[in-house]
Structure 1
Amino acid sequence: MHLESLKYFREVASEKSISKVAKKSYISQSALSQLIQKLEEDFGYKLLNRSNKGVALTELGEIVLKYSNNIIRNYETMVEELETTVKQHNKVRINGTWSLVTYSLPCVIYKIKKKYPNHQYELIASTREDTITDVQNDICDFGIINDALDPEHNLFTYPMGKEKIVLIAPGKYNIPQKIKLEDLLHYDMIMCNSNNNIHKNLEEALKTIDKKVDDLNIIFNATTDGAVKLAVSNGYGLAFVPYESIKHELYEKTVKVIDIEDVSLDYDLYLISKKLGQLSKARKESIEYFIEIGPKSFC
């Protein structure tokens, strides 16, 4: 029995006419009659009574029609679920910091997409803590976080290099190209409160001169690197930002990078995911290629 024949049988039963269904389906009446006859032969029962007025279901035809609706509906549901499952298995969700998702990761994903055109990718800006939770709960497939994980998380972890952090000033700001850490106390500062690593590393650096972040002249805190860059471009003060996020502003010369003697606020980046053996083929392939091309492919 072919499902196609069952579908035609259902249509004929509904229209009570082989000729009408043949015309509507763009097949010959004789071809459709043969399909219905073959279906009857497969079952071994007469399903339709034929007359000059059309066709009518036999008692056994009524039974076939009743079950054909379920069979066809279940088949269509099965096909739909198969397609949905395949699409979901080919979908790869990636978490990262706002600056990484906005500036660095798109170039990497572009190259991965070229290698695996059937995979679908989604980038999501997220905090370190939310990324860890999302990976554990299968909300995202892998993420890029700053700082190493504790072993208790039981996740796959791979070092991906460092995020370079720079001090920027307005392009026309009157400030030396290189300053000492203590010189920061004499300038207005803008902080990004969404990047805990910058704050933490700056706090550690200031300890070396017996100072704290609270000792700086912080004009205001912003929620994103974008807001910080805009404030610096408008001449409101200095700020620490990821280098990848200011390439355009450096080209336009609306900001400039200021060196600080013997101070680095760079922090480590790590790729995290479930153990590779637990992942679908699309996710495992994407992670492995991401590791292969690595930070050298960041925008």
Structure 2
Amino acid sequence: MNLESLRLFHNVATLKSISKVAAASHISQSALSQQLSKMEEKLGVTALIRSNKGVELTEEGKIINDYANEILSTYNRLIEELDKIHSEKNSLIIETTCLSGYYILSKFLSKSSGKTNNFFYDINYQTQKKIHSNLINNICDISITSIKLTDPDCTSYLLGTDKLVCVCNASCKSTNFNKLPFLLLKDDIDIENKINDFINLNNVIIKTDSLHTILSCLLIGPSISILPKICVENELKQGILKEIPLPELDNITYNLYLTYKNDINKVLKSKLLTLIRNFKTPFLSDN
């Protein structure tokens, strides 16, 4: 017997109707009846007398209902106490799988100083599989990924769309990009498979998930890389890097999703909604 069975039994005992409780709980009457029957079977009693007029409690049912009321009240107080603790939490833990997500957060938080009223944003870089597990197990509060997490206990919000650009050192004179050494970013957007039809991957000299490493190599000598535009916008504006136009990249874009659990506590949800409202187009590359 579980807490949900007790809750349903208590509701049936209060309303004296299986159909009304089934409708309110968004389950079928047969499923509810089966759940109540299993509870009775486990306790070895007949708790409800069913008839066309509704249900009535037996003597055993009245005892069960009294205890159910007490147990549910205790559980509600437990949740209130935990919510009180959670409401005092002073950080929103964010995990992202992709550099675009990391840079979006960096840009936003640099404008808001990353801290408001003693509230902090704790940002971590993780794999897709790890993030989903951490989100479900409340290790992180929200995630930003390029792949939408589909889980009935979660809500995903589309932040926007980024694009890929081919870049090289601004002083590079070569016009044949397929003869230049290639620096491949390993990110969850799977750049390698997106570009293998028009980029000679035999020229790859580095594979890394470190944007810093790629940028350092681009500045040292002639080489190219294909990167999320938001990650190199500053370098392009400053003239440190230049973009090599590749029409094939125009059709390669990817969505960025912010995902959170539906039962996120009220204080964190308020901070989260503020975060979402402030994610406007300046934080994403124009396509």
Alignment of 1:178-217 (within 5 A): 184-203=177-196, 206=197, 215-217=201-203
Alpha-carbon RMSD across the aligned residues, in angstroms, is 3.1
Who is 2:264 aligned against?
A: 279
Q: Determine if contact 2:101/2:256 at 8 Å carries over to the other structure.
A: no
CA distance in 2, matches of 1:227, 1:219: 12
Who is 1:27 aligned against?
A: none
Alignment of 1:89-128 (within 5 A): 89-97=89-97, 99-100=99-100, 102-109=102-109, 117-128=117-128
Cα drift, residue 86 of structure 1: 5.5
Give 3-state SS (helix, strand or coil) of 1:294's partner: coil
Cα drift, residue 168 of structure 1: 0.5
Who is 2:39 aligned against?
A: none
Who is 1:250 aligned against?
A: 236
Computing the radius of gyration from Cα coordinates, the structure with the larger value is: 1
Give 3-state SS (helix, strand or coil) of 1:220's partner: strand
Who is 1:162 aligned against?
A: 161
User: Which residue of the other structure, out of 265, 271, 274, is the alignment partner of 1:289?
Assistant: 274
Q: Determine if contact 1:194/1:224 at 8 Å carries over to the other structure.
A: no
Distance 1:114 1:215, change over 3 A: closer
Who is 1:16 aligned against?
A: none
Q: Deviations over 1:275-299 (max 9, x none)?
A: 1xx1112221122122222243538
Q: Which amino acid aligns with 2:190?
A: N
Q: Which amino acid aligns with 1:136?
A: I
CA distance in 2, matches of 1:107, 1:249: 14
Q: Deviations over 1:20-70 (max 9, x none)?
A: xxxxxxxxxxxxxxxxxxxxxxxxxxxxxxxxxxxxxxxxxxxxxxxxxxx
CA distance in 1, matches of 2:152, 2:130: 13
Who is 2:171 aligned against?
A: 172
CA distance in 1, matches of 2:86, 2:147: 34
CA distance in 2, matches of 1:227, 1:295: 29
CA distance in 1, matches of 2:177, 2:240: 20
Q: Which amino acid aligns with 1:108?
A: F
Alignment of 1:1-299 (within 5 A): 85=85, 89-97=89-97, 99-100=99-100, 102-109=102-109, 117-149=117-149, 151-152=150-151, 154-176=153-175, 184-203=177-196, 206=197, 215-264=201-250, 265-275=252-262, 278-296=263-281, 298=283
CA distance in 2, matches of 1:88, 1:191: 43
- Gaps of at least 5 residues in structure 2 are 1-80
Who is 2:66 aligned against?
A: none
Distance 1:224 1:293, change over 3 A: same
Give 3-state SS (helix, strand or coil) of 1:263's partner: helix
Give the alignment's TM-score, normalised by structure 2: 0.60
Q: Which amino acid aligns with 2:259?
A: I
